[in-house]
Amino acid sequence: MKAKLHILDTIGVALATLAMEAPEVEYIIRVLSGVSGEYMSSVWGRWFKSYTPFAAMINSVQAHFLDYDDTHLGAITHVSSVMVPTAFAVGEVLGSSGSRVLEAVIAGYEVLRGLAY
């Protein structure tokens, strides 16, 4: 259940960035959105897809920009702003179910937890 709340929080914080039209976020989008590749994933809150690694990065930047994303105190890092966009971007190109994406996010948290202590 906690992972689901982290996912909702991450997406919510990323979408909140849209209202700001932050020049830093818009710059990253301009640089990375024009690149295409074999695998394309959605950019949250936008009407286009980008090359999967770049879509994950754009979504990560949006999720972290306001600095309201969650913090893992043991590692002193913002885990969800990296883990959630990556799991969603890769899950999209693989056609993964929501439960598989959730499992990927949880696995990422567990790996980080093991590295943090």
pLDDT tens readout for residues 46-55: 989 999 999 9
Assessment of whether the complete model's pTM goes beyond 0.75? yes
Q: What pLDDT score does 117 carry?
A: 53
C-alpha distances in Å from residue 20, one per residue of 24, 25, 75, 79, 106: 11, 10, 29, 23, 30
Q: pLDDT (tens digit, 9 = 90+) per residue, 14-71?
A: 998 888 878 888 888 888 877 778 899 999 999 899 999 999 999 999 998 876 656 5
- Checking if the pLDDT of 107 tops 90, the result is yes
User: Which has the closest alpha carbon to 55: 66, 44, 67, 64?
Assistant: 44
Question: d(Cα 14, Cα 10) in Å, to the nearest integer?
Answer: 6
Q: What is the DSSP string of 31-50?
A: HHHT---S-EEEPTTSS-EE
**Mean pLDDT, the chain, integer:** 86
Q: What is the mean pLDDT of residues 70-90?
A: 79
